[in-house]
Structure 1
């Protein structure tokens, strides 16, 4: 709302009446425009409001409402509106709206005489003579007549028994408004059309008892004798139609004026709400502008941080790729040494049994672990530690092997030197000259050198033994590392990954299912499949069954599955080549990985090339997997 500079001065509540004289004089002199045109006015002190035009009553209600005390207006504004209300009452009173009047249309109201007096509230009288076949109790029931006269909408019905004339008089009461008069006149007209009106009842010509009669209750009914007149006088009174119409019009005008005042007050409240709405809208607009500015700054900062983060990520990825390339290069170098170490992994039967027992314990322990709840990050860290540990062990093993080879060469060289010295010493002993001091001195020096070489050879053999023990320990650590990898990766690897944890010596059940479905159908195929797999799994565990044979010469003798074994031949003939090959593969794996125990053991497997996965392949796969996870985490 706009305000003049004069609004800055303060006016107390007690000075409102005095201060209102000044704006009142200004209004009288025409300095403020109030009347826009006939019937349209404006408030000169609220020019900033959305609503500018008022009717006389609306503007008067607005001015009076603000002057009496509006919480959102100061004392000076109240004084201005008090002057406006006084100006409208004194100077513009002639422009007030003419009160509404209700005029009865000639088409809807009957012509009335000055002497036409009605019983009010409006009442209608229906006379029903009792005939021989009529049910008196039914006719005396109000419910019957309410239903019969329902089209005229009476408020209530009173039935009277006229003994001397043997007839039922029904008095229907209607509402006091003009709608009630309309209903009772419609009742009267309907009976008059049937020639059963009041005049026809008075004449009683012909078979009058066979008809019902009805009319509107008037003064002659009210002033007559009998039970009908007594009821009319007790429930109503006589009034002229003009009096009733005038009273109805006055009541209507009062309602209209009251509604007009309520509308004016409502408009004032609406103006207040509109003013508050405008203030809130301006405030909200400012907040939205601030929010847009903050959003813009946030987006710029976010973009800057994302760019910085992207650069850091690229730098980290480049560094990681460089380290990965270095690791791959070193792993390539270690591969050849690993192959040689694999050839030296010849364990004794006792050591194999010990390893099998440890693997059984690890399998039992794996069953109790709940690796599914461990976070992926912990698994990645664990695999990385294993990779570093394996790298360290490989380097240590490589150094040990190099040292062993070096020591072996030195040992061989020492042995040759010792043999050479021993031969020379023997020759000199056979050809020695007792008086030759020079020869004796040389022999003494050679014996001392020989003893020194033998001592050095003994030290080297002891060192070699220690290195061999350490090599065995390194091999054990490598096997433990493979076992730890199997344990750690069991829940992370599955049938769809390149590197898998495969149970070596376990039957491949797919050929069994295929063969059973070819011979049987439905549930019978399932039953036969389960029985067949269970039977051959037990056969594989049976140490008494030994379907192997040795092939090759003495230098290259190896143990293979004997396909001519009776049970295998019968299996091929009954179930086919694929089923027999599945059992043969399981036997070969058992012979290679657990010949003594005859139960399946877990092993890292390369599904892509169908063979045992080397530690390098596992590490390469895990490194690639960690890269993928790192990229995904950075993206999220």
Structure 2
């Protein structure tokens, strides 16, 4: 480009629009010819018209915003040549380098800082100045519009001020006001838009000060001018701050003079401090999570070892019980066999005696001696027959005793089976030695019955079991003391696990629920079935929603009522469980009035409250395994959280 485009003297401020367009075209042709280097790479660009001390590298969107902002600047510090060069750069970017623009990012706004020097001094917080506000002299004082009315007007115009503060002096309303904006860059953007709007309407600061430059410096100056109409406004800068007018006096009370670069550096320091604090918090949370995972692994290992030991002791107990049952059965069978053998012998002996009596009766005694002998033999035979009858009666009694013994053995066997079932249900709550003592007690009960027959071997085994039982009871006392210590430790571990679970639940509240693990409000009533039922009964959707809301509120109150207990206990897989009592009046009314879907929603909420919070009867939040429809374990929650953390870490890297 020619030298006429490169100069930036103060004389070009009076350049006409046609000359501006001419410089713009010359600069654009120079850019097209490649005289100025704009594109550094496919993503990085540079402004060839800014000095080296300014930012040198831009993305496409950033450079386009910079060029458009400087080209459209109304600041007197920007030369016309500088504006023409930047307008040409914007045109070159849009027409010749548009292929490098990201189609997903449209340029929607101009950088508010583009047409301002970093060292330009403003009053901070950002404050606008409004003058020439109409006033009236009333009751010895000047009165004017309120600040809230001006604030509402500026809000409707999109300037979004936080407050409009009219300025008063000893004469009343001074005809001036201060417009306060937010302290952030959005506030700065609104303030600049506010100033440019008045500048475009020829009601900016320079228009107000034309032929009135001497007004600043008069302390009692009332900011109104009969030769000018309408409001004039601009953004407060260092000259306004230092003025001796009522405006400067109030600016010094509520603000300070800062450069843009100072404010940007302070914002950067605050941002860096916030990032560092957040980084430290994340590191502490990560360390805490690792400690929780370590404690969880230790607890899980202890529980696995305890369950393995219990399974082993249960297996030993079953084997010993099976041996006792086999021994009792063999002994009972032996008793039956012995009695059957004795009964057969007595029958044979009785039959032989009867045959002998018949022979004696049929024998014809030849003489008195033989007859006497025969009578004696008959008497003897009769005596023996009586003895045999008595033995037979005794045998019957023995048989009856044997049957009674068999029945008692069967009853004891049934009781033993019942006891086995009870021991199975209570196995997880009892210690190993208690099981052994119960086993030995059962063996002694069997041995007592066996000992009635005087079997020395049985008596010896009973005595041995009795001694072993006494030893085990002594060991049980020792184990009870150990058990109390373990219970205390287990309670402490359980409290730690519950605390860890609460922390995990609080951590999950920051994440949305997934299809795997999330937070579920247990006992919360599902309102969808109520709404669907009401849609079928009412014509309009509004009526259905209103009626469904009323019914849901009523049943929520029922759910919270501790006096209402619609449950019953049933046997399920050998265990006592509580389920819904369908004979309850409210439950029957619910099923009859609303149907199965609504009944299922209410019964689900009832069962969840009864299982997780039966005493309080209120909704609780807990970890939930949505994939399997059950309460999630602490292990599942930690694994899922660690998995999410690893994915987050991978994305970050």
Larger relative contact order (C-alpha < 8 A, sep ≥ 6)?
1
- Whichever of the two has the greater Rg, that structure is 1
The TM-score bracket by the shorter chain reads 0.3 to 0.5
- The TM-score, its normalising length taken from structure 1, stands at 0.33
